[in-house]
Every structure is written in C-alpha cells, then in structure tokens.
Amino acid sequence: FYPGGKVEYTAYKPLMLACAEKGFTCILIQMPFNLAVFDKNAADGVQDNFPEIEKWYIGGHSLGAAMAASYVSENTEDFNGLFLLAGYSTADLTNSGLKVLSMYGSKDKVMNMKKYEKYKTNLPTGYTEFVMEGGCHSYFGMYGIQKGDGEPTVTVTQQIEKAAAKIAVLAK
C-alpha cells in the first residue's frame, strides 16, 4: 500500500488491519519524506518475500494511489488488480487486464474532481467506482482532517471499515 502525500505511513495501519481481518496479507510501505513520488518503485522485491501469495493487488491513497497506478502500469504481469483511494491513474491501464476499484468520499474536497473525471478514461472497461456517502479525503487513514477537506458525516472507523470491505470484494 502506497500512503498519501505528506502523511505518515502508520496512519494507514487501521486500514491495513481491517483488510488483514478479512484474510489478506497487507504490506504498508514507508516512503521517503512521506512522498511516494520519491520512490514509485517501492514495491519492487516485495513479492519475492512472500512466494506463497498467488494473487497480488496494489493500491494507495491520493498521491500514493497515483504512484501505485504508475507502478502497476509498468508491472501489470505481476498484479491482479489495483485499488485507488481518493486518487486516479495518469497512466493508461485500459488494456492491462487488471481488476480496478476507484473509491472516494462524497465529502472529499481535496481530490481534484476535474482531473479525476479526466483520468477515469485510463481505467479498464468494467472497473468499479464506489462513492462513499459521507466520506472525506482524510478518513482513509488516521491522521485527522486534512486542510481544505469536506465535513464528513461518517466516522473515520466507518470509512475505513467500508473501504476494507470494498477492497475485499475486489480481491476475492
């Protein structure tokens, strides 16, 4: 999992634990300076450490989602799918064969929605889009409300649990 920009990677531990409770091995990657843009290839070698895992999914939040998408675009043969939390892919994944979940909160005021709409065309046909009613940008992690974000009508725990449930559907 690629964390959001300028967010301490441990803020996503609750999301990773929620996914792990659904039976998935989760790997949370620490990025240099808390910016995935400085190490887009951070997932290199991770799969070698877990040879027993047959299906691999990569995802991230915000800037981390964009970097995970960029990484998977160059390594599609190594992955079964991608999940984007309040982020989008600037890389063309239309012919990747990947299962893709794109999720964001209805109260998200951080993600650039014009760019999100523009770059949806980079996703494969049949991708899943989920708009979390009452969710905000910040609540995919436990780091408080990000400056400029909308006012959520769900709790951070509710948003994390719902996100984990949707990721589990993608990965099954």
Q: How far apart, in whole angstroms, are the C-alpha atoms of residue 5 and residue 137? A: 12
- The two tokens of residue 15 are 């999301």
Sign of CA dihedral 48, 9, 100, 44: negative
Q: CB burial class (10 A; 0-12, 13-18, 19+) of residue 112?
A: exposed
Q: How far apart, in whole angstroms, are the C-alpha atoms of residue 95 and residue 98? A: 8
Q: Kindly report, residue by residue over 79-128, the tens digit of the pLDDT.
A: 999 999 999 999 999 999 999 999 999 999 999 999 999 999 999 999 99
pTM of the predicted model over 0.95 = yes
Q: Kindly report, residue by residue over 140-155, the tens digit of the pLDDT.
A: 999 999 999 999 999 9
Domains in the chain, please, with CATH? 9-171 (3.40.50.1820)
Do residues 3 and 60 make contact, with C-beta atoms less than 8 angstroms apart? Answer: yes
